[in-house]
Structure 1
Amino acid sequence: MIWQEYAKQLKEVLSLEGSPVGVAFSDLPSSNGKDSKVYACSAFYQAARKGITFNVSAETSPCPGGTTSLGLAAPSPERAAAVKKFLIEGEKFSSCNASFFRSRALSQAQPPIGVSKYVVIGPLEQFEFKPDLVLFLCNPAQASRLVTLSTYETGIPLQAQLSGSTCGGSIAYPLSTGRANVSFLDNSSRHLVKGFKESDLIFSAPYFMVRSIVESIPLCTAGTAQPGMGFNEVMNK
């Protein structure tokens, strides 16, 4: 499958530690996926660094925020109130009710509620389904190359949403906007998933954009192309 070949090429060119991660919204589980309980942010890490595929459903997602960001269930009023209280008084990510409201009202990350029964998350080189999104657990230098490769063909600047949850920035935002995004991994994700490095972040993009990224690799110096002229030649003119 072509996306599996993309995975091998991207891993080699970017020198990734682990694999690009495929994400597919499906009404059927993947035959090689685990059905165990898993936090979305942990599934991203384990897919990238340990090669594990997960069939995430409303029954196996223990995080209320992750369940919503993946579109697996709409929060009840009681659950929404509990999450708000936790974000203000527990995680202390919002200063007050008004701050919490603005963070939700102004966000472009619209949860894909009801889109599918499962969100399949796994290493791209083993992915059974055509992915809807591809995530890269990478360092800033690798993310910089991905940003350049993703804009090489079109010239359209990246419009990222850097605040918010890891799952919202990595899944809900690129899915609902059709744009690539960068997530710095929120503090809760870094606390829950001990394997994350301080230098880790997630670049995520719709699959149709990944095709453009791969096609740009031999043409762009963020890929494998050699410069057409040196800095000295430009600066001396």
Structure 2
Amino acid sequence: METLKIYRQYGEELERRLRLKTFPLAIKFLKNKKEIPKGTQRPLKDFGHHLSLCQSFQISRREGKPLAVLKEDHWCCEPVIGYGLGEPPDYFLEGYNRFPRDVKTLEAGKHYAQQFPRLDVGRFAGMTFMPLRTTDFEPDLVMIYCDSNQLCVLLLGREYKEGYNLNCALSSHAACVYAIVPPLQSGECQVAVPCRGDHYRAMAGDEEMIFTVPRGRLKDLISGLRHTATTGSALPHGYCMLPEHPIHESYMKIAKMMGYIEPKSKKKGGRKNR
């Protein structure tokens, strides 16, 4: 229970520090139906219909409901393929998922299928998710819908410990796959773009992006966010557009080293008031 308490505190802290509009989701993959947490609803069994996964995510991240989704609950085929809930048919592998609607040639559609992130077939039976602030399980991943400003702060927090860039493969399709499968496989954070289904069918905002952090990186992310909040990267913050605005001491030092800004003592005359 102490571990769950920490995760719930992380959820509340992410909401507070980032000023999020929706709940960060704790996500856990299930090996079988018996692992579904008690009191968790399923689309087909409890709602009487299939849902695309982005719609299920939307219900949980906006309404706070804990959900579990197995193969038979899905409506869109892409997460079924991406999560290894079934063997992809040749029709998908040959490129017809994208051709002719979205790509010029069948070969281009095949390229998409070849690069599509996929877990091994049969590894999992499904997934469950709920707001991190109320989670009843230790998550495999935490998924956060955010705007570009919040994403910048998240990336700053992620970079605090080691400083490396985040390498991502972005796609116009299957945000539910691109946001989930790569970080589960690599153990690294991931950024994804909400796809058409997420926008058209699940009410993702025009400004929204997706940031996913694996369990093993969550503590470092929180630590980084706590630090960067003390150095000028807390939300909310003000805005200004001034010429020669105040910049960090290290930036000014580098500029002078590179010779494109002169020390004040060498400048002739003062700057005119505007």
Using structure 1 for the length normalisation, give the TM-score. Answer: 0.87
Matched, 1:34 2:41: yes
Which has the larger Rg? Answer: 2
Deviation at 1:111, TM superposition (A): 2.6
Give the match for residue 49 of structure 1: 62
After superposition, where does 1:85-96 map in structure 2 within 5 Å?
A: 85-89=96-100, 92-96=101-105
Matched, 1:60 2:73: yes
Write the distance in 2 (CA, Å) between the matches of 1:102 and 1:23: 29
- Over 4 Å off, 4+ runs: none
Q: Does the 8 Å contact 1:151/1:157 carry over to 2?
A: yes
Higher relative contact order (CA 8 A, sep 6+): 1
Deviation at 1:93, TM superposition (A): 2.7
Deviation at 1:77, TM superposition (A): 3.4
Give the match for residue 183 of structure 1: 192
Q: Deviations over 1:16-35 (max 9, x none)?
A: 11211111012311223211
Write the distance in 2 (CA, Å) between the matches of 1:191 and 1:56: 21
After superposition, where does 1:66-81 map in structure 2 within 5 Å?
A: 66-77=79-90, 80=92
Q: Does the 8 Å contact 2:95/2:110 carry over to 1?
A: no
Deviation at 1:86, TM superposition (A): 4.2
Write the distance in 1 (CA, Å) between the matches of 2:248 and 2:174: 43
Q: Does the 8 Å contact 2:85/2:126 carry over to 1?
A: yes
Q: Secondary structure at the match of 2:204?
A: coil
Instruction: Return 5+ residue gaps in structure 1 as ranges.
Output: none
Instruction: Return 5+ residue gaps in structure 2 as ranges.
Output: 44-49, 233-245, 257-274
Q: Deviations over 1:98-119 (max 9, x none)?
A: 1122223345x23343222221
Q: Secondary structure at the match of 2:206?
A: coil
Deviation at 1:72, TM superposition (A): 2.1
Q: Number of aligned residue pairs: give it.
A: 226
Q: Secondary structure at the match of 2:226?
A: coil
Seen in structure 2, the aligned counterparts of structure 1 residues 68 and 232 have a Cα distance that, compared at 3 Å, is closer
Q: Deviations over 1:170-217 (max 9, x none)?
A: 111211222211111112321111x21100111112111111111222
Give the match for residue 99 of structure 1: 108
Write the distance in 1 (CA, Å) between the matches of 2:121 and 2:36: 18
Deviation at 1:160, TM superposition (A): 0.9
Give the match for residue 121 of structure 2: 113
Q: Secondary structure at the match of 2:108?
A: helix
Seen in structure 2, the aligned counterparts of structure 1 residues 106 and 58 have a Cα distance that, compared at 3 Å, is closer
Q: Secondary structure at the match of 1:87?
A: coil
Q: Does the 8 Å contact 1:70/1:119 carry over to 2?
A: no
Give the match for residue 231 of structure 1: 247
Moved more, 67-76 or 158-167: 67-76
The CA RMSD over aligned residues, in Å, is: 2.1
Give the match for residue 269 of structure 2: none
Write the distance in 1 (CA, Å) between the matches of 2:191 and 2:40: 26
Give the match for residue 177 of structure 2: 168
Seen in structure 2, the aligned counterparts of structure 1 residues 29 and 110 have a Cα distance that, compared at 3 Å, is same
Given candidates 203, 215, 219, the residue that maps to 2:211 is 203
Moved more, 158-167 or 3-12: 158-167
Name the % identity: 20
Q: Secondary structure at the match of 1:88?
A: coil
Write the distance in 2 (CA, Å) between the matches of 1:114 and 1:208: 24
Seen in structure 2, the aligned counterparts of structure 1 residues 180 and 232 have a Cα distance that, compared at 3 Å, is closer
Give the match for residue 13 of structure 2: 9
Match of 1:182, as an amino acid? V
Q: Does the 8 Å contact 2:24/2:142 carry over to 1?
A: yes
Give the match for residue 122 of structure 1: 130
Match of 2:75, as an amino acid? P
Deviation at 1:133, TM superposition (A): 0.9
Q: Secondary structure at the match of 2:158?
A: helix
Q: Does the 8 Å contact 2:189/2:211 carry over to 1?
A: yes
Write the distance in 2 (CA, Å) between the matches of 1:32 and 1:201: 30
Q: Secondary structure at the match of 1:135?
A: strand
